[in-house]
Amino acid sequence: MGVRLHLAVSLALGARTLALDLASDADVIGLVGPSGAGKSTLLRVVAGLERRAAGHVSFGGEVWQDAATFVPAHQRGIGWVPQDGVLFPHLSVRDNLAYAARAPIAPVAERLGVTALLDRRPRNLSGGERQRVALGRALCAGPRLLLLDEPFSALDRPLRARLAADVADWARAHRVPILLVTHDERDLAPFGAEVWEVGAAGVARVA
């Protein structure tokens, strides 16, 4: 795909500052590191939900953030899947998927195996089901960049690998790059991801 994501920011996280320079045109970029390293906050910076970061964020030819610019989240064309999914609790699974959909939801529901859940409410779903619906909601919105925060944490190992492969297929077919955060590097294997490690010193490419 070769759409270049460039992230050069310094981010105050409590007492310490995370400074990093990440530039990549990989199809899938994995951010790994221990919990509390600031991985989720970095995703929020890319999403435009975090204003504490100072620096430069660009995607393709577009500057999303620099000293003079801040493109708000709703204008970035992203699909952000936070930890635990955060499904809209007052909407059915169908309405969650359709919430910002730019294409029919049925094929996505089929691919993620949630077709049988369409009439259920989020409160009646298991953790893994919630994560699948949250992924589906982001895919249906037709994003240009997927931001996934521990998207498979509530799933057991075999299902993880299958779902990861499905999402990877979808992303390749739609030419959508993925930035994926996880504390478990094994999640990245199905994606053939470029791996960056978030540590105290910053972010370094490790694979």
Partner 1 sequence: MTLDVFSAIRLSFVVGLAAAAIGLVPATVVGWALARGTFRGKAVLSALVLAPLVLPPVVTGLLLLRLFGRASPVGGALDALGLPVPFTLLGAVVAALVVGFPIYVMTIRGAIEAVDRRYEEVSLSLGVPPGRTAWRITLPLALPGIAAGVVLAFARGLGEFGATAIIAGNMEGRTRTIALAVYALLDAPGEDPRLATLVGASLALAFAAIVGFEALTRWQRRRLELDGR
Q: Which residues of this chain interact with partner 1, rule CB under 8 A?
A: 47-49, 72-80, 82, 86, 88-90, 99-100, 122-123, 137-138, 141, 147
CA distance 43 to 55: 14
Residue closer to partner 1 (CB basis): 20 or 138:
138
Residue closer to partner 1 (CB basis): 11 or 145:
145
Sheet order of strands, 203-205 included: 78-81, 145-149, 178-182, 28-32, 194-198, 203-205
Residue closer to partner 1 (CB basis): 50 or 194:
50
Displacement of CA 156 from its chain's centroid (Å): 19
As measured in angstroms, the least distance from the Cβ of 185 to partner 1 is 25
As measured in angstroms, the least distance from the Cβ of 150 to partner 1 is 14
As measured in angstroms, the least distance from the Cβ of 86 to partner 1 is 5
> What stretches of 44-99 adopt beta strand conformation (E)?
54-59, 62-65, 78-81
As measured in angstroms, the least distance from the Cβ of 142 to partner 1 is 8
Residue closer to partner 1 (CB basis): 128 or 202:
128
